[in-house]
Amino acid sequence: NAGVTQTPKFQVLKTGQSMTLQCAQDMNHEYMSWYRQDPGMGLRLIHYSVGAGITDQGEVPNGYNVSRSTTEDFPLRLLSAAPSQTSVYFCASSYTKSGNTIYFGEGSWLTVV
């Protein structure tokens, strides 16, 4: 997972609190994305970005906000945390050209109580 760095690794939030999960990559990848993984389910796409200044929604975007001001960084914001957002969050990046694959960070474990 070299190259994609997520912080924090663990976080406990109270319902209604806001927080930002940080993600940075040093591979000059155009594409970055956020996924969440819940028990018994595969990873689901929250938001993605194909370049600085461009973001779009994935499969499960509600309750999350993103921005892409630089190529390197793609923070994920929880505006008002809910227990349903308790999950493991993975940031990923890749080149956008054909045939390339996505590289994932190590994950951020979030618990909302």
Residue with Cβ nearer other proteins (26 or 59): 59
| Site of interaction with other proteins (CB under 8 A) | 1, 4, 31, 33, 35, 40-45, 48, 50, 58-59, 90, 94-107
What is the spatial distance between Cα 90 and Cα 81, in angstroms, rounded to a whole number? 17
Residue with tokens 């018994």: 40
Residue with Cβ nearer other proteins (81 or 92): 92
Residue with Cβ nearer other proteins (26 or 106): 106
The least distance separating other proteins from the CB of residue 96, rounded to whole angstroms, comes to 6
Q: How far is CA 27 from CA 19, 40, 46, 54, in A?
A: 26, 31, 22, 18
Kindly report the backbone phi and psi dihedral angles of residue 84, in degrees, each rounded to the nearest multiple of 5, phi listed first. -65, -10
